[in-house]
Structure 1
Amino acid sequence: MKSNFRVIMVVVVIITMLAGSVYIGAGAFRTAGSGDTVATVGSEKITKDELYDYMVKQSGQQAIDTLVSEKIIELEAKKNNVTVEAAEVDEEIASYEEMYGGKEALESALASSGFDMDYLRGNIETNLKIKKILEPTIEITDDEISEYFTANKASFDQQEQVSARHILVETVEVANEVLGKLNAGDDFAVLAKEYSVDTSNKDNGGELGFFGRGQMVPVFEEAAFGAEIGKVVGPVETDFGFHLLIVDEKKEAVEATLDSKKEEVRDVLLDQKIQSQVTTWLDEKYKEYDINITL
């Protein structure tokens, strides 16, 4: 539904983590027995030894570099008494879930890019460690904050938004059938689970979360922003099918001020500076530690 739908990973990029790469440890497949069979083709066997050798050739250097970098970050966090609580990771996860309209939608977005929630949690935890390690070394002046806000003010303005739910079906006949049940008092969430073909949110009552103009396909957007709160709208036809929707809440546009956004701007600048410094920081740490790669 969202035209700019993509996985938004953590702002602070830490190390070379390539989508689709296989991350393995140096002995990951040998520990259980190098002759163990992982697949068969007719009477022929493919062993863990063969799999290990193939994966090392494909991405072994990238994988070991990633693991070394993660270990350095872990050791530096201990050295600096830096810890990340589960609640801190949960808070970040919650912001992503809100952005995508629920846990199921976020999981679907991650899966479409080859990731899962465990990967995201680990990525967030590592990024938070780096942020806590480097933040005390970074200075952000009031002039920098003011200049950035002035140059990017529009991005801090709150745009008009609506929070909506929808049920997506393939034909107008089914849409009218569902509409009849809604008008008769049937529960929207129950019908969404039963009828909707939008698997990213059907089990979450069809929740789409808050969205602004330009995020949905035009005809759906027009219907949503023109709807009265709490009233069923539709069927609305798009390239995806036929939608029945309910708008639960609306937020009016609000112009941002420097005073109200100062901390938010500081966080943006902090993330940018960390992102620009982390590679150099890791390079320096590589030189400090006795690293012996025998892959």
Structure 2
Amino acid sequence: MTSSTDTAPAEDAVTPEVTLTKISGPSEGWRQRLRNTDRRRLAAVLVVLAVLAGGVTWWLLQRGDLPEDAAFRLGDVVVSADDVDRRVDGLQALYGVQPPQEGAEKSDFLRDAAKSMAVQLMLEDEARARDIVIAAKEVDETLQALITQRYPDGGRTAFVAALGELGATEEQVRDEIRDQLLVSRLFDDVAGGVDVTEAELEETFEERREELATPVRRTLSNIVVADEQAAQAVLQRLRRGQKFAAVARSTSLDSATRDGGGSLGDVSAADLEGDYAAAAFGAEVGGLFGPVKTESGWNVGKVERALPARAAVYAELRDALRETVLAEKSLEKWRGWLSEVIKGHDVTYADGFRPKDPDAVPDIDQANVTGSR
């Protein structure tokens, strides 16, 4: 056996063990002494060694020591820094997550990633206790749906090429999918069965009447290009009378709206980035606006129509509000349960991976980015 302080953890988390002696391949002198040893004394020695091994392992675990390359230990399972890096690679391939490259943001991201991995291991323990198992067929079907959605043109070939560019493997992506399916199944098992009465719905509606009202909206169309010069060229084409939808289909970099002629649908100012919202809601109906730079690129837009604000009507919103309240109740139940699970597990983090609040339940954004781990 080997000590966890001497041997790097395998790709999967390993259990720290302790080297006491090596009895494979003994010398001839050792064989002679063994033949001359009273069998009962030998048996007693082996029992003592076994007890000592268990005691030393327990002592190592209790004193909080971690191997140099460890990110954290959960119980007797050690997860290495390389394990965390491989998990991040999988997140990039699966979700397009781009981890920060330097400074405090990178440090915080790694701490969140380590904590989310620790929480995922806890959830796997809980799932086993509830006999929750994710079949390989479910993973296959989910992966295929992902490839179809993310790589509509290149399919599996494009997916494999993307993995190669990221330095990730399909097995990492499959593991991530399995984890997500497992958490979803466990959530249903833990947080299912909530209900809401009509009186609760009506009370919630009154409390949220103002925020449930429909604000002033505008129907917008939009074209995204790479730089300001290209945006000015788009504006010139539109001002010369070319159809907005045709220019969008041939020019826009936004694959989500391009095929629809650049249509953004009905949006409020709160739905948009600040500078873009100001331009879109400052333009006349039927008018063009831009170029405006946003996170997605340089934008040229058109106001198709203006829609007035509308007060909230309970009969119209009841069903959607009910779904919202049920989701909120389920989440509250889940977070309460998860808090107890986290507090009930012994986790030791390395300095570079220790979260600010190890016992806190991960927030929604962190759970989505790092897979609830």
TM-score by length of 1: 0.50
Q: Which has the larger radius of gyration?
A: 2
Kindly indicate which of the two structures has a greater share of residues assigned to helix.
2
